[in-house]
Amino acid sequence: MLLAGETEKAAEVGRRAVRENPGFQGAYRPLLASLGHLGRVDEAHEHLAKLRQLQPEFSIGWFREHYPPLPQDHRDHYVHGLRKARVEE
């Protein structure tokens, strides 16, 4: 949804995913990027704090190195959202 331009919907699905399964690290990443694109930095920081409990090494650098292969424009969109959410490089 995030990559399809449905940012608000992606954020809602992400919120539901982390609420229903707070231990699943993979649900936090698109949620953080979505919230960044939406300008909801405070909410993103709340979720980032929870992700850091599960995955302390998460950063934009980690994302670039470990996230599944994506076309460059999709990867850039994700990273831009993470930056707007103020995830560390």
Q: What is the pLDDT of residues 24-80, one digit of tens each?
A: 999 999 999 999 999 999 999 999 999 999 999 999 999 999 887 888 888 999 999
Query: Percent of the chain at pLDDT above 90?
Result: 82
Q: Note the pLDDT tens digit of each residue in 33-46.
A: 999 999 999 999 99
What angle do the packed helices 28-38 and 72-84 form, to 10 degrees? 70
Residue 4: per-residue pLDDT: 67
**Which domains, ranges and CATH numbers included, belong to the chain?**
7-84 (1.25.40)
> In which residue are the tokens 């990559």 written?
3
Residue 5: per-residue pLDDT: 73
The span from the CA of 64 to the CA of 76, in Å, is 10
